[in-house]
Amino acid sequence: MFKYVGSVAVKIQRYNVDKYESLLRKIVAAHGLTCMEIPGIDLGKTYTISDVDSWIEGGRYGSFFDFHNSIGLGKKRSDYGKIKQQIDQVPVLGFNSGRYDINLIKNDLFAVIGTDNIVSVIKNPSYMCIATSDMKMLDISNYVPAGTSYNKYLSTYLGDCKCDDKIRCVCGLGNGIFPYEYITTFNVLSQTTIPPKSAFDSELRGTSISDADYKRVQFVWEHYDMKSIKDLLIWYNNLDVVSFIKAIKAQRELFKRFDLDMFTDGVSLPGLSEKVMYQTCFNNLQ
């Protein structure tokens, strides 16, 4: 999982640098590379964008991204350093993850990222934010009123499923079903037949799957031409993740109206609301 997150983070960082390269170059042209830590370069001299281009042409760096990626922020934060931190920190988002998911994986998580690489940790009492130089783990449940469920969050920004036939729903807002307790080993995911109805019962919760829900499982298995239980798992995960991403994008647009970025300007709804309040107050004063 951590290798996957790391590989995706690099792709996103490269995309961000390519997108903002012209702005980054203008900052270097205006202010030079003051307060930046550049490996193998004498800090006693002021360097400009022409120096950067000569380093790239000379083969010191393969591209502007490689140069950008090698820079350290230094003790003093320059304009370039502030933007670098924003575009390098890839948001890793969850819902109630600060209370549950992170606590479950924190030993492995901190072992992988290393405590030296951690920029900040906000815990109050759950993990609100864990930030490194290239990753920022945030919990979307901190950006909504207390007690908001995941389903309520999705319905607020995406609406509810409007399909008349819930069994044959393919709108992406219907319920996903998966036999958690049936998966006792990874090999079970390779099973090529649909799990029996009893596989969806839960001893932990003391619940049994309804006839309608099992008919839905049978429908999606056939509709999406599933070959194994692994395909059912992929469908189940995508049903959650794709809707979650769409809801986050919709919520993020609301704060963009106030020139705020949810993941850069705050780690919770109160923090962002305070900034919106001050904007509104100052505008009214004017």
Phi, psi (rounded to 5 degrees) for 218: -65, -40
Question: 231 pLDDT exceeds 90?
Answer: yes
CB 182 within 8 A of CB 195: yes
Average pLDDT score, the chain: 86
Examine the domain organization and report whether 159 and 117 are in the same domain.
no
The pLDDT tens digits for 40-92 are 766 566 778 888 899 899 888 899 998 888 877 655 556 777 788 788 888 99
Question: What is the enclosing helix (H) or strand (E) of 274?
Answer: helix 269-285
Give 285's pLDDT tier (boundaries 50, 70, 90). Answer: low
The stretch 124-129 carries a mean pLDDT of: 82
Examine the domain organization and report whether 158 and 281 are in the same domain.
yes
Examine the domain organization and report whether 158 and 263 are in the same domain.
yes
pLDDT score of 82 = 75
**Helices 79-88/2-31 angle, 10° precision:** 160
At residue 2, what is the residue type? Answer: F
Examine the domain organization and report whether 280 and 171 are in the same domain.
yes
Domain extent, residue 111, equals 90-143
Examine the domain organization and report whether 161 and 104 are in the same domain.
no
**Closest of 41, 44, 49 to residue 70, by C-alpha:** 41
Question: 210 pLDDT exceeds 70?
Answer: yes
Examine the domain organization and report whether 55 and 117 are in the same domain.
no
**Closest of 130, 132, 131, 129 to residue 143, by C-alpha:** 129
Examine the domain organization and report whether 283 and 229 are in the same domain.
yes
Cα 90 to chain centroid distance, Å, stands at 7
Give 153's pLDDT tier (boundaries 50, 70, 90). Answer: very high
Give 1's pLDDT tier (boundaries 50, 70, 90). Answer: low
Examine the domain organization and report whether 61 and 96 are in the same domain.
no
Q: Report the DSSP pairing between strands 90-94 and 135-139.
A: parallel
Whole-prediction pTM: 0.79
**Closest of 60, 53, 68 to residue 19, by C-alpha:** 68
φ/ψ region of 185 (left if φ > 0, alpha if ψ in -120 to 50, else beta) reads beta
Examine the domain organization and report whether 286 and 151 are in the same domain.
yes
φ/ψ region of 215 (left if φ > 0, alpha if ψ in -120 to 50, else beta) reads alpha
Examine the domain organization and report whether 269 and 151 are in the same domain.
yes
Examine the domain organization and report whether 69 and 161 are in the same domain.
no
Question: 158 pLDDT exceeds 70?
Answer: yes
